[in-house]
Structures are given as C-alpha cells and as structure tokens.
Amino acid sequence: MKALLEPWGFMRILRLFMGGIILYQSFMNHQPLIGLLGGFFVLQVLLNTGCGAGGCSPKIGKMKEDSRVDEIDYEEVK
C-alpha cells in the first residue's frame, strides 16, 4: 500500500490527468473505445506502472552507497 501512495511524480500525475480527461470525453461523446484508452492511463496510475515490460516504471529503491563506477581507459585506434 505504501508503494501505491508515496512515489507520486510528474508522469504519474500527468497520466491521472490525461486518463480523467479522456474518460470524461469518451462518456460525453459516447466513444467506448476511447474510454479504453483513458482507462489504460488510469490503470497505469493505480498500479504505478510505466510503458511496458517494466522498462519505464519508476525506480523505488536507491543505489547502494558503496557502488562505484570504474574508470574506463580508452586507446586511440589508427
């Protein structure tokens, strides 16, 4: 439940706003297929998911402090 309530970012609020507007317009114009699109946006907000296959979902965990990025040595190729 905590994961659903806390990480409200810009994209999650934008999806909620877009989903609400699309759902409202679909009911006013009697367009059930457009309502499915609005329902998809609202479902993304409720489940806190992103695009697809978990590639766009927000990262909830933090990086470890001891994780370091190694320096990469480049050699010039002629």
- 4, part of any domain: no
Could you give the CA distance from residue 48 to residue 16 in angstroms, rounded to a whole number? Answer: 11
Q: pTM for this structure?
A: 0.57
- 15, part of any domain: yes
- 72, part of any domain: no
- Give the count of domains, the chain: 1
Looking at residue 21, its pLDDT comes to 92
Domain of residue 28, residue span: 9-47
Query: How do residues 15-60 score in pLDDT, each as one tens digit?
Result: 888 888 999 999 999 998 999 988 888 888 888 776 665 555 556 6
Report residue 13's pLDDT band, with 50, 70 and 90 as the boundaries.
confident
- 75, part of any domain: no
The distance of Cα 27 from the centroid of its chain, to the nearest Å, equals 25
- 68, part of any domain: no
- Is pLDDT of 73 > 90? no
Looking at residue 67, its pLDDT comes to 62
- 19, part of any domain: yes
